[in-house]
Amino acid sequence: MERIEFVKIGAVLVLLAGALAVALTAGARGGPAQAVTAPAVPLELGAAQILGALAFAGAGGAQNLVQSNWIRDKGLGMGARMPKLVSPVTGRPEAAPATGYRFPPDEPNLARWRGWWRVANTEQLVSFVLITVVTITVMSMLAHATVFGREVANDVTFLHVEGEVLNRRTGWFGTFFWIIGAYSLFAAALGILDYMGRLVSDSLKVTYLAASTRWSESALYVAVVWALIAIGGVVLLAGFDQPLALLIVSAVVGGFMMFLYSGLLVILNRRALPREIGLRGYRLVVMGLIFLFFAFFAALTIIDRIRGL
């Protein structure tokens, strides 16, 4: 999985460089300035699409919750002292739940915590915020330069039109655009399977199966991943195979999930963690605003669906 994502990152960097070098017109380069000076919310899309766009535009979804699992399995920081998720075929899975360890909040431990926290903040700023802003900006400019103002269908076929325009301009970049897009979606699907398997198996092992010596977290991970693949196959075989509809459903579920876990994270930080490392100050205010933000769009989506019945 890590190698697949590594290749994806390299390919996307090439795509971004090519988009900036050969695909964008002078008018498209004015897009970011127009977005800042004349912002507008596309209310004609409907509440579900707006919530889905917010969830898919870098907000994170369940991926925010799996960061600690990835850190643990890479052996970074405190993860070096916790049981790892390993392949039941090639490794030796540990039956113990990865419940972690609550350190005494004395000055030496807090100094280590602050050092790790600085690294975690820097990593999120670079790999999450910065890359998200750059990629969304460039891809939006690319779409503006190729399909803006054209009569295109309100579905994913606009990507075909975008690629054809790029091919006419460069002779090869459109085909490269399609290849990278397909590979990125494939890698994203694998990533979703991975982090859902990690989250569900971790939760089951820590709560309901903590005393089980038969069900390790690794075995649970394999079972969850194959169950998700089977469910996806059933959905497609049932005839529900429209890409845009499936994307909207997935994104809306992600938005609802972010609404729920934002509130739960505030409660967890205030009640379960030591005061020295829990949320406080402006971070607590921001988390409260995030909770209200997604609560508003979740409620708006429900009302919109009820009215459409």
Distance from chain centroid for Cα 227? 21
167 closest CA partner among 8, 6, 23, 12: 23
| pTM of the entire predicted model | 0.76
Q: Provide the 8-state DSSP code for 171.
A: S
Residues 6 or more apart whose CB falls under 8 angstroms from that of 291 comprise: 259, 262, 263, 266
Give the angle subtended at the CA of 137 by the CAs of 132 and 139, to the nearest 5°: 95
b (16+ CB within 10 A) / e for 123-159: eeeeeeeebeeebeebbbbbebbbbeeeeeeeeeeeb
- For the stretch 133-184, pLDDT in tens is 888 888 888 887 787 777 777 667 778 888 888 888 877 888 888 998 888 8
- For the stretch 227-266, pLDDT in tens is 999 998 898 888 877 776 777 777 777 778 888 888 888 8
